[in-house]
């Protein structure tokens, strides 16, 4: 489960690796050659990242920016660059830049300024971009990254050259894109002068100035990366950082985080850099990874063929469809942007108090978190899962500039984990719960950890309740697991419940881990407290933990081979161990006799259920009721059914027209019941056995069983179950298919869900393979015979 949730950067690693196009036959050989060639060269990778800041208003004017709004609806004279309009710095931009600069361990420029970068493009309304040139606000920092375990792991430190503030340009739209058509008018005509822009709309090229003037931070890395995965992890860490800091939503799809990658290669051992190539259009971490790997292979191939001169300084575009880079434009030397200080804006002067106050307000950053978790003793995989957050997997899109309200959009899982630990929960257990059931639940329900109803305090309480009474230390995890399973079986299968006495903390109180899961799901879906659910569901049992410990010890020591396998990763053996545990010890548990009802039919499922009941459930002092419900089968002659005589059996209900069926109408009718009864007597001679037969015309077998079980005051209901519901749906039928419910719902399933007493659905797995058990709270539990 863990591996599927690690950072997005490592998500799509299994995607096809870049290959140079060649004839299909030689493809594989060629790839092999490429791998070998690639080893002879070293790649030098640097990344320029643009982060769009989540400020409430643009960098130099009061317009808000909302991604996806209608073109040119969020513009004003300033961001449209109308003559006479002047920019004024949004102080939040400086604050965010200082935040990120500090988080990237940079040296801040206490005196910096804005410059004009002049270039000509239709989406640049002023003819220049306000940026920072020779004095960026932050320089000379670094970013620490832990590579994912599945890629060899390892800690890396990548240098940061500079961080500077600038404004974004507008967007060019082509009318024939279909994305925006010519019908687009200005729904919000702020001023009549917008008509100026409509001029542009008459031509094929259209400009949307909503994004013009939106604040950006440009982060330039040192050329410290050597592989695609390193570059992708660098970008992912940067995304985490801006989200932790709340300065940006870091969303790559929306363009809030844009990476341009510079790649050059050189023969291993050479100190001179090769010709660098810039790659654009990288919309995900995995495309960064793949584009770089492709580019390295492409350049290495050219090198090895002696065509190194064909590697030219250029900008290449990553094409997601064909999985390769193509030339976008060749560069003619360095562009002259004619930078000069922006005369419309005063210098940016920071003072120490200001910087100190921001420094002290910084949250715990991902790197600090990882180191802290590592010190707690968590494995690197756990550390990465928790600290590197998985939130983004579940959040489809961000709405509005939530960051601007100081709401950090990431680190929620880590925060939840921290809060759980703060409440005293065991670190490893808390990590397991979060990464296991909770993560699975979030994924299924497409929820974030903030959206589930479970609170950190309740998780801590749950963990404490489970752990409280069970065995610590000694033989570790297995004991805990098997003890829990054992207790689950007792609870579920033997119907042993005691009242909750409010002594949760007592050592003698155990909530079973199987129950733990069900409590957990209850908490996640509906909220509430652990204690509340325990009381409501009556889930408490008083057991002497030392007794369980002994039993588990015994089972484990008797099965060293299986234990070895289990420790080696065969977790399915849990069932095996649980099956080895003896039935509930009545002296320790509940000594009173119970009434168990088994639904009897002339089917294999029913026989299996009875077999399970005799071997695993019933004790000598218990009472067994074999209930057979006779329903009219579709192939039967309705008249025959109608003419049946009234029953002379002991138990009748007003609703039923029961009878002891005779003749062909109920083939083998009495026989199988008699056989079953005899089987019971053989297995457990002292067992009191009753046979019940009920006939119904309505066909609603489940309802009859329910009312019967209530009338008898049954403690535990056992019913044979077909292999799976899907079989039934696919039309898998057998002659005595009497287990079908009236409305196509599996009768057993219905009973499991609706029975007042505990109900166990039993599927026997072959002759010696044990049973697959289903109860209301525990699904598909495989009990080995």
Partner 1 sequence: MLSTLHHPPRRLSRFFPANNKPRHFHTKPVLSSSQPVTDQSPSSTSPPESQILSIRHSLLSREVTATQLAETYLSRLKLAEPQLKSFIHVSNNVLKEAQSIDDKIKRNENVGPLAGVLVGVKDNICTVDMPSTAGSRVLENYRPPFDATAVKKVKEFDGIVVGKTNLDEFGMGSTTESSSFQVTANPWDISRVPGGSSGGSAAAVSARQCVVSLGSDTGGSVRQPASFCGVVGLKPTYGRVSRYGLIAYASSLDVIGCFGSSVADTGILLSAISGHDRLDATSSKQEVPDFTSQLISAALLESKPLKGLKVGVIRETLENGVDSGVKSTVLGAVSHLEELGCTLSEVSLPSFSLGLPAYYILASSESSSNLSRYDGVRYGNQAAAEDLNALYGDSRAKGFGSEACQNENFDGNVRTLIQKSFKTALDENDILISPAAPSAAYKIGEKKNDPLAMYSGDIMTVNVNLAGLPALVLPCGFVEGGPIGLPVGLQMIGAAFDEGKLLKVGHIFEQTLQGCRFVPPLIADGIPQ
Question: What residues make contact with partner 1 under the rule CB under 8 A?
Answer: 77, 81-89, 116, 118, 120, 122, 125-128, 190-193, 196-197, 199-200, 338, 340-341, 343-346
Contact of 255 with 216, CB cutoff 8 Å: no
Min CB(458)–partner 1 separation in Å? 50
Residue 84 vs 582, nearer CB to partner 1: 84
Closer to partner 1 by Cβ: residue 127 or 400: 127
| Cβ at position 209, least distance to partner 1 in Å | 10
Report, in Å, the least distance between residue 332 CB and partner 1.
Answer: 15
Residues with Cβ within 8 Å of 142's Cβ and at least 6 positions away in sequence, in order, are 104, 105, 157, 158, 159, 160
Of 68 and 84, nearer to partner 1 (C-beta) is: 84
For partner 1, give the closer residue by CB, 86 or 503: 86
Question: Given the complex with partner 1, which of 142 and 339 has the nearer CB atom?
Answer: 339
Reduced to 3 states (helix: H, G, I; strand: E, B; else coil), residue 430 is helix
> How near is the Cβ of 189 to partner 1 at its closest, in Å?
11
Taking the complex as a whole, the smallest distance from the CB of residue 124 to partner 1 amounts, in Å, to: 9
Cβ proximity to partner 1: between 116 and 211 the closer is: 116
Closer residue to partner 1 in complex, CB, 319/344: 344
In the complex with partner 1, which residue's Cβ is closer, 119 or 405? 119
CB of 71 to partner 1, least distance (A): 15
| CB of 7 or CB of 206, closer to partner 1 | 206
Q: Which two tokens stand for residue 401?
A: 């500039």
Residues 6+ apart with CB under 8 A from 611: 764
Q: Residue 26: which residues within 8 A CB-CB, separation 6 or more? A: none
- Nearest distance in Å: CB 182, partner 1: 17
The DSSP call for residue 552 is: H
Torsion sign over Cα 240, 242, 245, 247: negative
From residue 684, how far is each of 597, 623, 627, 674, 679 by CA, in Å?
15, 11, 18, 15, 9
SS3 138: strand
Name the packing angle between helices 573-580 and 477-494 (round to 10°).
Answer: 70
Q: Between 344 and 670, name the residue whose CB sits nearer to partner 1.
A: 344
Q: How far is the CB of 77 from partner 1 (least distance, A)?
A: 6
Beta bridge partners of 257: 51
Q: How far is the CB of 219 from partner 1 (least distance, A)?
A: 25
d(CA 184, CA 227): 44
DSSP notation for 689-702: EEEEEEE-SS--HH
Provide, rounded to whole angstroms, the least separation between the CB of residue 188 and partner 1: 14
CB 188 within 8 A of CB 34: no
Distances (CA, A) of 668 to 284, 334, 611, 663, 681: 67, 95, 20, 9, 20
- Write down the H helix ranges in 351-471: 352-361, 366-376, 380-387, 391-394, 412-422, 427-433, 439-445, 456-469
């Amino acid at each position: 489960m863990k591996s599927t949730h690690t950072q997005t950067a490592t998500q799509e690693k299994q995607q096809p690796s870049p290959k140079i196009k060649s004839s299909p036959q030689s493809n594989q050989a060629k790839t092999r050659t490429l791998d070998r060639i690639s080893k002879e060269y070293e790649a030098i990778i640097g990344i320029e990242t643009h982060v769009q800041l989540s400020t409430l208003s643009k960098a130099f004017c009061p317009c808000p920016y909302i991604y996806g709004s209608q073109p040119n609806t969020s513009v004003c004279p300033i961001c449209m660059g109308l003559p006479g309009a002047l920019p004024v710095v949004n102080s939040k931009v400086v604050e965010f830049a200082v935040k990120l600069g500090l988080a990237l361990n940079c040296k801040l420029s206490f005196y910096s300024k804005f410059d004009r970068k002049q270039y000509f493009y239709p989406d640049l309304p002023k003819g220049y971009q306000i940026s920072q040139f020779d004095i960026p606000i932050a320089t000379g920092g670094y970013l620490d990254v832990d590579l994912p375990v599945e890629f060899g792991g390892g800690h890396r430190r990548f240098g940061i050259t500079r961080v500077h503030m600038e404004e974004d340009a507008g967007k060019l739209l082509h009318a024939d894109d279909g994305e925006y058509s010519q019908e687009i008018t200005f729904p919000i005509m702020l001023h009549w002068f917008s008509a100026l822009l409509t001029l542009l709309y008459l031509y094929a090229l259209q400009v949307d100035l909503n994004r013009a003037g939106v604040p950006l931070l440009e982060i330039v890395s040192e050329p410290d990366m050597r592989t695609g995965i390193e570059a992708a992890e660098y970008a992912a860490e940067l995304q985490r950082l801006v989200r932790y800091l709340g300065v940006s939503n870091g969303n790559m799809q929306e363009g809030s985080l844009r990476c341009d990658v510079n790649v050059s290669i050189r023969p291993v051992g050479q100190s001179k850099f090769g010709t660098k190539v810039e790659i654009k259009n990288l919309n995900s971490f995995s495309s960064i990874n793949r584009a770089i790997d492709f580019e390295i292979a492409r350049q290495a191939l050219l090198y090895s063929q002696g065509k190194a001169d064909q590697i030219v300084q250029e900008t290449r575009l990553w094409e997601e469809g064909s999985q390769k880079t193509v030339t976008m434009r060749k560069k003619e030397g360095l562009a002259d942007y004619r930078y000069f200080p922006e005369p419309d804006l005063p210098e940016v002067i920071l003072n120490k108090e200001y910087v100190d106050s921001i420094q002290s307000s910084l949250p715990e950053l991902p790197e600090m978190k990882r180191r802290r978790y590592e010190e707690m003793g968590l494995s690197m995989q756990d550390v990465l899962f928790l600290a590197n957050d998985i939130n983004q997997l579940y959040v489809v899109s961000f709405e509005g500039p939530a960051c601007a309200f100081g709401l950090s959009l990431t680190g929620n899982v880590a925060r939840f984990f921290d809060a759980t630990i703060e409440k005293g929960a065991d670190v490893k257990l808390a990590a397991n719960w979060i990464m296991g059931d909770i993560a699975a639940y979030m994924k299924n329900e497409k929820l974030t950890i903030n959206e589930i109803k479970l609170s950190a305090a309740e998780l801590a309480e749950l963990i404490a309740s489970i752990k409280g009474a069970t065995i610590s230390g000694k033989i570790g995890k297995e004991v805990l697991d098997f003890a829990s399973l054992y207790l689950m079986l007792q609870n579920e299968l033997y119907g042993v419940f005691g009242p909750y006495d409010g002594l949760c903390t007592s050592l003698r109180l155990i909530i079973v881990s199987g129950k733990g899961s069900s409590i957990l799901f209850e908490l996640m879906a509906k909220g509430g407290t652990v204690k509340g659910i325990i009381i409501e569901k009556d889930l408490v049992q008083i057991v002497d933990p030392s007794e369980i410990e002994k039993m588990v010890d015994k089972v484990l020591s008797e099965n060293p081979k299986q234990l070895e396998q289990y420790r080696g990763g065969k977790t399915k053996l849990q069932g095996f161990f649980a099956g080895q545990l003896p039935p509930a010890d009545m002296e320790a548990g509940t000594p009173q006799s119970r009434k168990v009802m088994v639904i009897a039919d002339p089917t294999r499922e029913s026989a299996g259920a009875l077999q399970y009941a005799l071997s695993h459930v019933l004790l000598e002092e218990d009472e067994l009721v074999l209930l057979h419900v006779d329903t009219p089968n579709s192939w039967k002659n309705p008249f025959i059914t109608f003419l049946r005589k009234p029953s002379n059996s002991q138990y009748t209900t007003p609703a039923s027209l029961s009878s002891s069926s005779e003749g062909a109408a109920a083939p083998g009718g009495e026989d199988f019941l008699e056989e079953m009864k005899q089987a019971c007597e053989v297995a457990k001679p002292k067992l009191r056995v009753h046979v019940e037969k009920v006939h119904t015309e309505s066909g609603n077998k489940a309802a009859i069983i329910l009312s019967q079980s209530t009338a008898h005051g049954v403690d535990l209901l056992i019913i044979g179950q077909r292999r799976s519901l899907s079989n039934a749906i696919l039309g898998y039928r057998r002659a005595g298919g009497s287990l079908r419910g009236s409305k196509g719902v599996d009768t057993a399933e219905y009973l499991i869900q609706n029975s007042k007493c505990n109900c166990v659905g039993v599927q026997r797995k072959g002759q010696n393979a044990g049973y697959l058990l289903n109860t209301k709270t525990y699904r598909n539990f495989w009990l080995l015979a």
